[in-house]
Structure 1
């Protein structure tokens, strides 16, 4: 054996290994996507990133709040994640204003990202004129999902008004089915309330109430009516709803145990994960109204500042990955979202996604979802109010309106 040759070969292999390690472009991703469809979406991103030669470190948390707490703790401790899954909320803006987030102004300018993003989304992701977050997909939280087999069995047509929706609920209840599958968690409950405010008032009123917080909008009869309809939904929910996760609740519709569910279009991913087909096994509609609206929630990656050169390069490669139109289309196909780029081919998306694409493209229809429209503390107070009203039948609509008005006027 030629030991001299072997020694040289081993040295060369060592150099190659060191070189590969140096250019692995590592990303450490703090995230909370744990349901079946969410995991598929995150794996879509991770697989595409690794296919580029990058190293992916997954740092999962139980939920959004846990992810944000872990991310901020790591930043404070000097060991920030490379990317954090979140929404363009007050937390993102606070991190950006304190100089903790990397911006992608150079890549956005070079690749023309502003031209292909919906203006409302672009504005959400810019803080003090800098692009500090990148969209992973766009959702709306004012959807209703329903069981096609149950609707067909009971000869129920897709509701075109709130009255028709409650008439469908009555038919389902009379036939012995749970009419509305509701997960008794505060964020799920408040979404039903805000869905009614949006359906009754429409986009213009929504912006006056939640974005501008106009005192005159707070006096509208729309708010007490929304609380009344919200309470009406509670009379159709099953006794086991308390504390149930959103995806377990969606599964009630998937399996035909319930007729309808108010939930964002991430629910579509759960139907798809169960091999169901939109329009055949399940149906979808934006909460029926004569004032069409699309309450946007954007999933994003924010990128904490890193000092390690490998991770800085990894952030850039992850940015390229999530902004790739082909990757966005794949994410939408499994997650239930609508692509955040207007140049993505949506022709292969199902009928529910097509409704979302059409709504998003209609001028004046898109509004900021409550979590983005209100500062975090006000949102938390309104969520607490919604839960109290849901669980305490003795609380009147008048008292709830008074509380909500005080919350909206508190800043």
Structure 2
């Protein structure tokens, strides 16, 4: 759904309406969670904030890029939002380095937030020694989701290797199912390519390729194989794939029309929103490999500097709200994420979330997804390359590998 943010006039009206004897602490939140499960998660935060006595102004955008564009425009125009939903990416680091974000060093020290977060998350949220973002949940983007009913009908066990996964796809196709539900949007396509790379190479190779960007990593036979498997997946896509949203694509698995989907664990929220139960109606596995990896994406709030005293107090209240362990647990329960605090009670999480928690806590398994690891321009170019390769069967594997190398080695 294409949504436009509220105008500054509406935001001002909200502020004036809050001018009562019990003056509410106001937050204006620029965000892009619009699917069923995402909306539930954002409402969980909003309800918890309002329960503390605050006033919530929702400023939705269509997607991540539009959110960042809207927030940046508002900051430049002198009407910054109170909080921006984003990831600890180059966009966050650029805003922090230019002095546009509030830091929460004081609250972190007073409340022991560093000890509460996994070190990999804490490090992502610190820029120049200052805590400039607060986590609302952790996802990984190298998951595969499947329909239990489709697997049972095709007499398939959960795959443990890539060969078994493609064998399962063939059985599903023979049984009349769409084997791999794929939404033909660039960001969905590149996720399949990176999932193949991490499955074949594991965490060590991933870090050499995407974090260090070592030229020697580009010579590995892993990359040609990853492009070959990426193209193989494209042969299973259904005719309606182009342009289909990720959540519409997840619904194909939810309704049993498709067998599997490559997607981050935000997809789990869609299964839960449909009343399905992990292990009963749907299943999950991280990309099958003998080198386990967990490529994380962290959802965060960043807080642009505000001059209005009410907005500043509202930011503090929102910070305390999202860092409340009970609120984090509720977010995870509807969003499909893993809590970003180590002290959250995970006893009520389903088997897919438990697998995520276990991976997060296993040394050497967690890596940064390309969303966080690469600068925005390189992410964009790699996404364009993946789409070109996906849609143009005449593009060779060697050309794909060389193009990726050119991207990763560019300045």
Give the TM-score band, short-chain normalised. over 0.9
Q: Secondary structure at the match of 2:367?
A: strand
Question: Counterparts of 1:17 and 1:68 in 2: how far apart (Å)?
Answer: 29
Q: Deviations over 1:206-260 (max 9, x none)?
A: 0000000001011100001000000000011101100000000000000000000
Q: Secondary structure at the match of 1:320?
A: helix
Q: Deviations over 1:257-311 (max 9, x none)?
A: 0000000000000000000000000000001000000000000000000000000
- 1:250 lines up with 2:262 in the alignment: no
Report the RMSD for the aligned CA atoms in angstroms. 0.9
Corresponding residue of 1:19: 21
Question: Counterparts of 2:389 and 2:401 in 1: how far apart (Å)?
Answer: 11
Q: Secondary structure at the match of 2:198?
A: helix
Q: How far off is 1:186 after superposition?
A: 0.2
Corresponding residue of 2:406: 406
Q: How far off is 1:18 after superposition?
A: 3.4
- 1:272 lines up with 2:269 in the alignment: no
Question: Counterparts of 1:177 and 1:54 in 2: how far apart (Å)?
Answer: 49
Question: Counterparts of 1:87 and 1:170 in 2: how far apart (Å)?
Answer: 36
Question: Counterparts of 1:321 and 1:100 in 2: how far apart (Å)?
Answer: 22
The aligned runs of 1:276-355 (5 Å cut-off) are 276-355=276-355
Corresponding residue of 2:118: 118
Q: How far off is 1:175 after superposition?
A: 1.0
Q: How far off is 1:58 after superposition?
A: 0.3
Question: Counterparts of 1:356 and 1:46 in 2: how far apart (Å)?
Answer: 26
Question: Counterparts of 2:165 and 2:188 in 1: how far apart (Å)?
Answer: 19
- 1:231 lines up with 2:238 in the alignment: no
Q: Secondary structure at the match of 2:22?
A: helix
Question: Counterparts of 2:116 and 2:361 in 1: how far apart (Å)?
Answer: 12
Corresponding residue of 1:13: none
Question: Counterparts of 1:207 and 1:115 in 2: how far apart (Å)?
Answer: 25
Number of matched pairs = 394
Normalising by structure 2, report the TM-score: 0.95
Q: Deviating runs (4+, > 4 A) in structure 1?
A: none
Question: Counterparts of 2:176 and 2:284 in 1: how far apart (Å)?
Answer: 22
Q: How far off is 1:176 after superposition?
A: 1.3
Q: How far off is 1:194 after superposition?
A: 0.2
Where does structure 2 lack aligned partners over 5 or more consecutive residues? 1-17
For the pair shown, which has the larger CA radius of gyration, 1 or 2? 1
Q: How far off is 1:17 after superposition?
A: 7.2
Q: How far off is 1:19 after superposition?
A: 2.7
Corresponding residue of 1:193: 193
The aligned runs of 1:118-267 (5 Å cut-off) are 118-267=118-267
Where does structure 1 lack aligned partners over 5 or more consecutive residues? 1-15
Question: Counterparts of 1:65 and 1:410 in 2: how far apart (Å)?
Answer: 23
Corresponding residue of 1:3: none
Question: Counterparts of 2:309 and 2:396 in 1: how far apart (Å)?
Answer: 58
Question: Counterparts of 1:261 and 1:370 in 2: how far apart (Å)?
Answer: 19
Question: Counterparts of 1:18 and 1:204 in 2: how far apart (Å)?
Answer: 57
Corresponding residue of 1:365: 365
Q: Secondary structure at the match of 2:20?
A: helix
